[in-house]
Structures are given as C-alpha cells and as structure tokens.
Amino acid sequence: MRTAPAREMGGCRVLGQVWGAWRRGPGVRVVAKASGFGTEAGHQLRPRGSSKRSRPLGDQPFPGLLQLENLGRKELVDVLRAAVVDQKGPLVTLNKPPGLPVTGKPGRLTLVSVLPELSQSLGLGDQELQVVQASGKETSGLVLLSSCPQTASRLQKFFIHSRRAQRPTATYCAVTDGIPATSEGKIQAALKLEHIDGIDLVIPVKSPSRKDFQEGVKRTVSHFRVVATGSGCALVQLQPLTVFPTQLQVHMVLQLCPVLGDHTYSARVGTVLGQRFLLPAESTKSRRQVLDEALLRRLCLTPSKAAQLPLHLHLHCLHLPGMRPREAPMKLLAPLPPYFSRTLQCLGLHQQ
C-alpha cells in the first residue's frame, strides 16, 4: 500500500491540510450503509498479524486475556509494542487489551504513564506519543496515538466536527446478554455522572430540565445494528454519536440487553417470569453479572468463572480522513481478542 507524502511543519510531520476541514471530495469512494453505519473506505489498513482463517482457541475460558495487574512497566511496554496494528508517519495505532486504563492517578500504571518508554521502543526518539482517541478502561480495541501535537490537534478537530455533523467515526462490536427488540435503530438518553458508594456511575435522567443540563446532564446518542443472534445473545455493532463515559454500556442496558461481562450496569436489568424490566438506576447497586444456567453451559463457564468474564465491547474500526486533500478516507481495523472470538464460537454467532 502506497504511503502518501507528508510535509514538515513545526518540527513534526503533518498529514496534509485535510485534517482541519475534511469533506467528501472527488476520488473518495463511499458506500452508504443502513442506519448511518459509517462509510467504507476505498482502501483499508489491515492489522499486522491478522488472518481470515479461524484458529482453534482451545479450552481456556478467556484465551489471550492478560493479567495486567501482574505486569511491570517494561512488560507493559512490550505488550503495547506487540499490540501495534499500524504505524504511519506520526500516527501509531494500538489494539488495547481490556482492563488497561488510559489515564489514572500519579504512580498508577496506565497507558499514558508508559508512553515515553513506548515512544522510545518504537524508534520515535524525542517525539513523545500522545493520545488522540481511546476507549475506556474495560473496553478493548483501537487506540490512536500521535507523536506530532499539530497532527493530534487536527485529528481531534476532525472528530469534533464529525460529531457535530452526526457522522460516526467509530464502530464497536459487542456481545449482549439478550437480543434487542429491533434489528437496528437509534438510542437516545440524557445521562449524568454521579459518585455513588465510592465509584463514579452513569445514571439516566428522564425528562431533564434546563437546570439539569446546566448541572452536567448530557444528551447522548448511539446507533446500533444487530449482526447475528443465537443462544439468547446478539452480536451488535454500535456507533456512538456523542461522547460520555460508559455510554454504550448504559445504552444497551436501556435496551434490556446488557453487554456480556458488564459487571457495573447489568444489575439494572431484572427478570420476572422471563420478562425483562429496568430497575431504578439510583438504587440498584453494581454487582457481578449473573447469567442463566443455559448460557453458562454454552459458554462452558462455572458461576465463579463467569464472575471474571471480561467486557465484550471492542472498538473495532475507526474512520479517518485521507492523508491528502481529495484522497479516500482510511479505515483502521483491530481484530477481536481471542476470548471474544471464543465467545462467538460458543454462542454460534457468526460475524459477516
């Protein structure tokens, strides 16, 4: 794949003028998809080591899941270097493992805390990487980094412009406990962040007032599309059009279909005589996700193992503008974690 030339600006490489005001120009091949599900780029960046062949994943319940709490700085840098799926000019793309926080308190081991060592490991010298786009701690998938402040700023403006235009740039894959009532649609909810029992939790707000919005309530929107169903579960594509902590997890709970491995919000979905309903968010305490016996058998998990189930929410795809004006947009892809693929096999969910 040919690499577009970059030019020098302010001591770092900048990928053309297109960052500031991206438009669909001549030469961009766009294929519209249902319910606003993004665009297909004229060319794709295939992750390193990816393969179309499915490999047996063995009998491990969570193959490929790292015990990040047992890693030191050097080991974490090695893990992140092996997780690089693309490096082009100042841009570096990682496939982040779940459980790794992007930021945190001083002294804690986070992605940001080891960026100086990662920059050196990738041969960037004094050009230290910074985070442009990343998912939450428990979410796996793409993290976009840049060693050039100007490029990072232009990309962040691109993402802001896309959100204002209601144009999705990120696509997540999720496995849900339960099947949404409709095959695709839009989820809209007003959300607020509250500190409850020592942790920050997201609470839906019904009929918010102007005062609520002044006090931090935000309108949030996500698109969803069901890709496959089986064993009472679904493989769902999710595209957030707004940014709010754990937005996608809360949105799927509002659909009565919590994400598999959601040990924070799944308790808000109750069941009586096979019928699901929402419990009050403010008074429902977080607890380990409880799965029915039939699903545990399909997943080959004991209840104690299910309590360790990782969140099945993966930032699979990011759309970026072309490197030069009128060049086709790029699509960055991150393959699913092995434990995610094992779950799909166990449940008979086949991604197309």
Three-state secondary-structure class, residue 250: helix
Three-state secondary-structure class, residue 258: coil
Stretch 25-29: mean pLDDT: 28
Identity of the residue numbered 197: D
pLDDT digits (tens, 9 = 90+) for 76-107: 999 999 999 999 888 999 999 999 999 988 88
> Measured at the alpha carbon of residue 225, what is the angle toward residues 84 and 159, in degrees to the nearest 5?
50
pLDDT band at residue 315 under the 50/70/90 scheme: very high
Query: What ranges do the domains of the chain cover?
Result: 71-165, 169-351
pTM listed for this prediction: 0.83
Q: Which CATH class is domain 71-165?
A: alpha beta
| Radius of gyration (C-alpha) of the chain in whole angstroms | 21
> Fold match between 71-165 and 169-351?
yes
Does residue 194 contact residue 203 with C-beta atoms inside 8 Å? yes
Where residue 49 falls (left for φ over 0; alpha for ψ -120 to 50; beta otherwise) is left
pLDDT digits (tens, 9 = 90+) for 198-224: 889 999 999 999 999 989 999 999 999
**5 pLDDT above the threshold of 50:** no
- The H or E element that residue 144 is part of is strand 140-146
- CATH node for 169-351: 3.30.2350.10
CA distance to 4, 97, 137, 300, per residue, from 243 (Å): 31, 21, 15, 35
The CA distance from 246 to 222, in Å, is 12
Identity of the residue numbered 272: V
